[in-house]
A = this chain, B = another copy of it.
């Protein structure tokens, strides 16, 4: 194919995408209506339907696509959509793996949604008086909306060029368990190394921009170690009058232990916790300082005053998210939690304790060190039940690869502005798995916004972000064809 043929195709692609945005939104709404909540077995059929929907879309864009089963009888899994575009005979660029996920988080608490989570609401007032035009639904941005950008770009390239992925050699993997721990993904990758191993680089659209109108490429994600700790006391609930002050109260004891996870500088006190943490290079620090991130503005958006800018001593707001590990209590429970008063000392109390990790921390090592720390802090007369809910590796990818440069050029051509190089505090464990199992680097090319309410009620995706992302994926094909 000649460069002029590319140009002709690209012109047609961008024209198709511009004229087709309303149709694209209608398609996305159809997909969002399917409640593909992976963590709840009741929605297994919906997960399969959402997978089939995506597979059909890819099929119609010329991909050889099918649902691939995961799991076993004892551990049932949701299907993975796996699709291939063979690449044009003269394609010389890298074999691309596109990864996304079709499953979504549970929608509860339902009462906080202003419209039903699986009845997508389109707010499309061009005047923007009601706020930026957007789609509101569970999964709007995480990750169906972001996968839709890719699907639409692929559809346009097929229509313009007649070829799947416009002639780029590409494999697509859409997972159905990202929101429930990706429990079957690693074994799927292991079992399909031959089919996946030819890929050279992975593209994932499940991250965010720096801000509205400011696209970004994310080059680092944090890892995760997620645990649950249960502290057991007496073999029965006790009357707090008869027993208060006489023997350990598991809630009070748990609280006293967990409070020691941080020192007064908000550093984590587990021995060895920071041993493998890569220091922040001065050059990175300088680049991040130039990004103009305003902590007070960011905090204000979620209802915090400026003095809520607290975290590990010696690091900035951005550094603490992008380059420093943290320990979080994601849940705590014990005793009576209904209305009013009950004077009980419960037999046990529990907490969900997770750690966000940075390169080169190892979630297995960290969990082990935390459990040892718990055992070293066992309150008198009590015993621990320690549960490992697993997690994922942190990933920091090369910023000087030709593929990342191609992605940056694609975004700049699509959006009219150079993408910032940023990191995120979130975790995308698949990147770590792809790196360790297949040697693949990942380019995170995402178009979400900080206030998209990911995992929360009233999740949204703004149409301008959808547009920028769709165009960027379309230009990425053009950039890959030129390589």
**Residues of chain A at the chain B interface (Cβ within 8 Å):** 39, 105, 180-181, 222, 224, 226, 233-249, 251-252, 255-256, 258-262, 295, 299, 302-305, 307-312, 317, 320-321, 324-337, 340-346, 349-352, 354, 356, 380-382, 389-390, 424-427, 450, 453-457
Q: In the assembled complex, how far is the CB of residue A421 from the closest CB belonging to chain B, in whole angstroms?
A: 18
In the complex, which residue of chain B has the Cβ closest to the Cβ of A105? B342
Please state if B299 and A381 are interface contacts (CB–CB under 8 Å): yes
In the complex, A241→B444 CA distance in Å? 16
Copies of this subunit? 2
Please state if A235 and B302 are interface contacts (CB–CB under 8 Å): yes
Residues of chain B contacted by A105 (CB below 8 angstroms)? 342
In the complex, A380→B251 CA distance in Å? 24
In the complex, which residue of chain B has the Cβ closest to the Cβ of A315? B245
In the complex, A256→B256 CA distance in Å? 8
Q: In the assembled complex, how far is the CB of residue A42 from the closest CB belonging to chain B, in whole angstroms?
A: 14
In the complex, which residue of chain B has the Cβ closest to the Cβ of A302? B234
Please state if B308 and A380 are interface contacts (CB–CB under 8 Å): yes
Please state if B39 and A340 are interface contacts (CB–CB under 8 Å): yes
Please state if B341 and A336 are interface contacts (CB–CB under 8 Å): no
In the complex, which residue of chain B has the Cβ closest to the Cβ of A345? B328
| A181-B340, A332-B337, A333-B333 given; A354·B255 CB < 8 A | no
In the complex, A436→B102 CA distance in Å? 67
In the complex, A344→B302 CA distance in Å? 14
Please state if B241 and A426 are interface contacts (CB–CB under 8 Å): yes
| A241-B424, A329-B252 given; A380·B335 CB < 8 A | no
| A249-B329, A255-B258 given; A456·B343 CB < 8 A | no
In the complex, which residue of chain B has the Cβ closest to the Cβ of A208? B242
In the complex, A239→B356 CA distance in Å? 11
Please state if B332 and A349 are interface contacts (CB–CB under 8 Å): yes
In the complex, A276→B338 CA distance in Å? 32
| A246-B321, A317-B246, A329-B335 given; A455·B302 CB < 8 A | no
Please state if A352 and B336 are interface contacts (CB–CB under 8 Å): yes
Please state if A456 and B237 are interface contacts (CB–CB under 8 Å): yes
Residues of chain B contacted by A331 (CB below 8 angstroms)? 251, 334-337, 342, 344, 346
The contact of A326 among B244, B256, B260, B302, by CB within 8 Å, is B244
In the complex, A222→B234 CA distance in Å? 22
| A302-B235, A335-B352, A340-B389 given; A240·B328 CB < 8 A | yes
In the complex, A324→B246 CA distance in Å? 10
In the complex, A304→B332 CA distance in Å? 23
In the complex, A317→B233 CA distance in Å? 17
Please state if B303 and A245 are interface contacts (CB–CB under 8 Å): no
Q: Would you give 16 A-B contacts (Cβ < 8 Å), ordered by A? A: A224-B241, A234-B304, A235-B302, A236-B456, A240-B356, A241-B356, A241-B427, A242-B425, A242-B426, A245-B356, A247-B310, A255-B332, A259-B260, A329-B334, A333-B333, A344-B455
In the complex, A309→B380 CA distance in Å? 8
